[in-house]
Every structure is written in structure tokens, then in C-alpha cells.
Amino acid sequence: MSAFSELESFLFHQGTNYSVYKKMGAHIVSQDGVRGTRFVVWAPNAQDVSVVCVSADEEKEHHMERSYDGIWERFVPHVKSGDTYRYAVTGADGVKRYKSDPYSFRYELRPDNASVVCSLSGYRWNDSEYQSHRHHSEVMKNPMSVYEVHLGSWKKGYRGEDDADGFLNYRELGDQLAEYVTYMGYTHVELMGICEYPFDPSWGYQVTGYFAPTSRYGTPNDFRYLVDRLHQSGIGVILDWVPAHFPKDEFALGRFDGTPLYESADPLRAEFPIWGTYAFDHSKPEVRSFLISSAFYWIEEFHIDALRVDAVAAMQYADFSRTEWRPNIHGGHINLESTDFLKQLNRELTERTTGYLLAEDSSIEQGITNDVHVGGLGFTFKWNMGWMFDTLKYLSYDFLERRYHHGELTHIPDYAFTENFILVLSHDEVNIGKGSILARMPGSFGDRFGGVKALYAFQFTFPGKKLLFMGQDFAQDADWDFGKSLDWHLADEFSHRDVLLTVRRLNFIYRSTPTLYTDSKDSKTFEWVNKNYADANIISYIRKNPFNYDGAVLVVCNFSPWHHHDFASGVPMGGEYTRLFSTYDNLPGAGGPEEIGGSPKLYAENVWCDGRPFRLRYGLRPFEVIIVKLP
């Protein structure tokens, strides 16, 4: 009896079977009263397929039967959870290749690459309270401060000479991450490199296992514990996911049945030279079923809140990283098939699940976060690469030079509301060779730390959700190295600890101030006070709700080492103003929480300033950013 019903098979070949993982792969079942494992694989052009099972150190090859639609099946008695297997695929070209299972739920620890029989059952979730409030429709109106993490280098835990990697288990990571993230006030964790991958330096972006959490840190149920533990602490979990490309490793998806099955057969679309990888052929319905069911799998089976889709621009543009490329049927460079896939992915996932998608996209295309029904791609959020680039470029200049580049900072609001953005300072900005955030800052030792705090205060008060990569919240001074632990000892040193506590305060102020997070695509939530202090490296703005100044805050950013003893900003109303935050709050003797010009309270004078009828006067210290609550 076939594992697939006629309808399930039809949907798979139509590209709309979003639970195909429940039938493909290895599933422990009983047949005729005998317990064993049913193996199912799609290889339509193969001459022959067998499953090679290793159980109790005994290896046996079992011939599989082919159905009319290119799906091969075999029930093997007594094969159980923990046993390993491969498919021996004799391709259309007559070559016999040993392949891991594209739908495997678990793989051996690299460098081994066999698939491992693994049941989806056996874990008892404890996140029902979190799940009851989880829905993608809620994320837009709530604060989102994301802590991006590479699990293999967040912390190490060497356990002897034989433990070269020093990886912590998912369960250890879940406990420790929940404690740290809760203390720091982040709302979400974004996990890099969880889908199984063979090559450590790819950081998990060259995936060979689209249905398996990497074995580097434990079992699938160990990973479930990590997600469960974070959810019990009220922390959302975002997973990096790569539907654009996959590596050429012989054991994996490439030329799976002796033909370009998952990759494009068109030589001008088959690869991404920039990464040395194959490109998925999104025009094939079976590839769409494979990828979209992978997205459903992580949300439904592992309770993942959202997927961050990597390299969206690579899928949108047929000429991405290619000197020779195939135009679309209209002669343009948009990859129509991949764009249609992204629309289908977003539409089906948001309509059928509680999850949502984030786009890591460097393109100039508009409408990435517009609804599919009005012509957009349907992503819930897009990484704001422009904000990152423009801000870091401005801050890299010497203080006296910045006056000539002030416009690079002040033009950011011109595009800040074109999409639902996340302001990102991610791993891409601090990996080896690029320098840490701290290292990018000019000036003296104190200037650099002051610049980092000012940057983060600007990030947390500017429109858009937030993302900060691990280690940067305590100003790690070295580049990020995926093979090493973060330099956690720095967090105990005064200047680094000051940055950490500043980020912590910013998280809690951001989360408790609705005008700082209810801003998507509404330019009325941002109002310049003065953007013309180029010589002083100062900008000031008001964050407000779209209709009035209820709950509004004034933000003043001094990106220079100069002290302004009697600074002023124009404000819209008189009365008593309250300073909520300063980047100096954690420095003893430098004007702590109780001090701003001698008092946390400020009073607006009935004097015109910055084109407004009232003036607020205060002292502004080097690299100080302040947040002041309006009456």
C-alpha cells in the first residue's frame, strides 16, 4: 500500500502539499503487525533506488519499489529510531550515488552524513500559555527586539581532550539563553545555522538537511526543549532558513537522481557563482512542496515563531552574481518563478499557520512587505540594510569630517517607512575582516565606547524593529569568529559593562514606550526637531503616535565628543518634561538617572526654537543621547 493517497500525491506534484514531510522520508510504523520503518523518496529519473540500513552494526540494502509518479517506497521490518540509512540511487546516467534523505529528521554528526531514523513524537511541550497568544497578526503592534545568536560560538563548554568543538547541548543553551535574554530585555532570539549543514565556515547557510536541526548541539527533542524553554520565558524564536541555494556535496541534493532534480537544468540559472552552490529550481512543483513543507515543519513541529529568509535578492534577480544570465519571458532580469514561489510561500504560511517570514533582502524592489493580494511579496518584515549601511558609514568618519556627511544620516527617514523594517546590526557587520562595532568607531578609548552607546540609542529610538548580534551588546572588541566563544570576560570590565547595561535599559524603555514601537509604514510617527546641526554632529526628533503627542518622546543624539552646556530643542507644548534615559545613566559621577542639567525634570520656556513655540534647555555631554517624555 502506498504511503500517499491519490490526493496527497496530486498535491505534491502540484506544489501544494505542505505536509509532505509526514509521508516522505523515514517513518516508524507497523505493517502486518510488525514494527519497522517505511522509507519514501522522490527520484523520478532514477533507474533504481535502494535503501541501505545500518542496524546493530549490520548493513543491509533493500530494493525500493517505484510508483508511476517517480516516488520510491519500502517498508523495512525492525529498523528503529537511531538506526542510520542512505539511499543508493542509480541515476538516469547509470551512476550509482549514495544519498542522504532530503526529508530526514536527523543526520549523523559531521563529517559523517548518513540519515538517522528519528520519530517526531516523544516530546511534551510546556509552552501552551505562550502559544495561546502567538499569532503573526500581533507582531506588528508589539515591540520586537531580536538577539541574533550563533549557538556554536555563543558559549563553549569543553569537556575534555576529545571534545574539540566544545559545543553546548541545546538544553544547556536553552536554559542559559533564556536567563540572559530575559535579563537583557530582548523579546526574540534569532538562531543562525540550525538546519543541518556539513561545513562549519558556512555558518549554516549551505544547508543539506531542511527538516533536521543540526546534530552539533543534540537531538531534535533537545532542540524542542530550547524553543520550549525560551517560550516559557516569553521569548519568541526566529530561525534562519535558506530556500535560495544548497551546496554541491555529493551526498546531498545535487543531481539527486542523476539529473538536475532540485536545481535548475538551465546552466545559466543552475548555480550561484558567488557561493559555489546550486540554485533551487522554484518552477518545479515538487521543489515548492519540499521547501514550503519545510517552512511549515519548523513552525508546526518545533513551534518556531518566524523564519528569516536568507538571500531574497538572489531569488528575485536572474542576474544575481552572474555575468551570464537568462532573461525572463519579458526580457527583464526579475526571476518570475522564484518571485512567484516567494508569494506562494508567504501567502500559504500566513494564512495556514501562526508563523510569519522576515526577508534578508538587499534589493531595491518595493513592496517586499506588502500583502500578496495587492502585488507585494507578503513578508511581514524586511531587514533595513540601508539604515545599517548609512548609519555605520556616517559613524566611521572622524568627528570633524561628519559635518560633510550629515545628509547620509538625515536622509534615512526618507525611506524608513517604505517597508515594515527591522533595524539590523547583524553578524554580517562584524565577521572576520570587517571589525567589531566598537572597532569601527573613531577617536580615543572613551570616544569609541561613547560612539557605540550613541549608535545603540539611535537604533532603539528610530522607527523599525530592532536586531543586535551577540557580543555587540557588551561591545566585544574582536571580530566575530564562528570557531570561538564570545569574550564574555569583557562584560565584567567597566566600559564593556556600561555598554551592556545601556542596551538593557534601552530594551526596557523601548518595550515600555509604545510610541517607539508602533511605527511600521507610518511616517507620522516620526518628526524632525532639528536635522541641521551638521557641525555639531547632533540630530533631534520626536517619536509620537500618528494623531497627537500623547506618549510622545523627544530624542536628542550627540554623535560628537563635544560638550554643550546650554543646549536647546524646540518642543510643541509647554509644561514639565521628564528625562527617561541618558547614555550616561550607568556612569558614576557623570550625571546618573537623577541628573540632567541638575534635575530629571525640565520645563519648557515660552520661547520659539526650531520652528516651535516652546524651548527646552539642558546640558548635552559628549556622545550623549537622551530620551525625554513630553507632558
**pLDDT at residue 519 in the model:** 86
Which H or E run contains 390? helix 385-396
With contact defined as beta carbons under 8 Å apart, do 321 and 273 qualify?
Answer: yes
Phi, psi of 337 (to 5 degrees): -70, -45
Q: Among the options 127, 190, 263, 310, which is catalytic?
A: 310
Q: Give the lowest-confidence range in 137-141, 161-165, 399-403, 570-574.
A: 161-165
Q: Give the lowest-confidence range in 58-72, 402-416, 516-530, 585-599.
A: 585-599
CA distances from 603 to 95, 323, 362, 563, 594 (A): 81, 62, 44, 21, 15
Q: Give the lowest-confidence range in 128-137, 171-180, 345-354, 421-430.
A: 128-137
Express each pLDDT in 86-143 by its tens digit: 999 999 999 999 999 999 999 999 999 999 999 999 899 999 999 988 877 788 899 9
Express each pLDDT in 278-310 by its tens digit: 999 999 999 999 999 999 999 999 999 999 999
Express each pLDDT in 310-320 by its tens digit: 999 999 999 99
User: Cell 576529545 appears where?
Assistant: 162
**pLDDT at residue 437 in the model:** 97
- Asked if residue 464 has pLDDT above 60, the reply is yes
Going by pLDDT thresholds of 50, 70 and 90, the confidence category of residue 63 is: very high
Beta bridge partners of 617: 568
**pLDDT at residue 164 in the model:** 78
| Domains 6-116 and 523-629 agree in fold | yes
Cell of 414: 526618507
CATH says 523-629 is which class?
mainly beta
Mean local confidence (pLDDT), 251-256: 97
Mean local confidence (pLDDT), 9-34: 96
**pLDDT at residue 161 in the model:** 65
The dihedral through the CA atoms of 570, 573, 574, 578 has a sign that is: negative
Residue 491: partners with Cβ closer than 8 Å, 6 or more residues away: 474, 497, 500
The rounded distance, in Å, linking the Cα atoms of 356 and 378 is 9
**pLDDT at residue 1 in the model:** 63
The rounded distance, in Å, linking the Cα atoms of 140 and 365 is 21
Please write down the HEC assignment for all residues of 405-424: HHHHHHCHHHCCCCCCEEEE
Q: Name the CATH superfamily, with its identifier, for domain 6-116.
A: Immunoglobulins (2.60.40.10)
Mean local confidence (pLDDT), 593-607: 68
* Single-letter amino acid, residue 407: G
For the chain, what's the residue count?
Answer: 631
Mean local confidence (pLDDT), 152-180: 90
Other CB atoms within 10 A of residue 525 CB: 21
Mean local confidence (pLDDT), 570-578: 95
Express each pLDDT in 482-528 by its tens digit: 999 999 999 999 999 999 999 999 999 999 999 999 988 999 999 99
Mean local confidence (pLDDT), 260-276: 95
360 is an active site residue: yes
- Asked if residue 598 has pLDDT above 50, the reply is no
Mean local confidence (pLDDT), 141-162: 90
**pLDDT at residue 160 in the model:** 66
- Asked if residue 429 has pLDDT above 60, the reply is yes
- Asked if residue 614 has pLDDT above 50, the reply is yes
The dihedral through the CA atoms of 154, 159, 162, 168 has a sign that is: negative
**pLDDT at residue 596 in the model:** 38
Q: Give the lowest-confidence range in 48-57, 106-115, 155-164, 283-292.
A: 155-164
- Asked if residue 594 has pLDDT above 50, the reply is no
**Buried b / exposed e across 288-327, counting CB within 10 Å, b at 16+?**
bbbbbbbbbbbbbbbbbbbbbbbbbbbbbbbebebeeeee
The rounded distance, in Å, linking the Cα atoms of 349 and 353 is 6
**% of residues, the chain, pLDDT over 90:** 90
Mean local confidence (pLDDT), 563-569: 94
Mean local confidence (pLDDT), 381-394: 96
**pLDDT at residue 363 in the model:** 87
With contact defined as beta carbons under 8 Å apart, do 260 and 326 qualify?
Answer: no
Beta bridge partners of 165: none
**pLDDT at residue 46 in the model:** 97
Mean local confidence (pLDDT), 393-407: 96
Going by pLDDT thresholds of 50, 70 and 90, the confidence category of residue 2 is: confident
The domain spans of the chain are 6-116, 523-629
Going by pLDDT thresholds of 50, 70 and 90, the confidence category of residue 50 is: very high
The rounded distance, in Å, linking the Cα atoms of 548 and 546 is 6
The rounded distance, in Å, linking the Cα atoms of 618 and 602 is 8
Q: Among the options 360, 361, 390, 473, which is catalytic?
A: 360
310 is an active site residue: yes
Express each pLDDT in 196-245 by its tens digit: 999 999 999 999 999 999 999 999 999 999 999 999 999 999 999 999 99
Other CB atoms within 10 A of residue 425 CB: 22
Q: Mean pLDDT, the chain, as a whole number?
A: 94
Q: How many H helices and E strands in the chain?
A: 14, 30
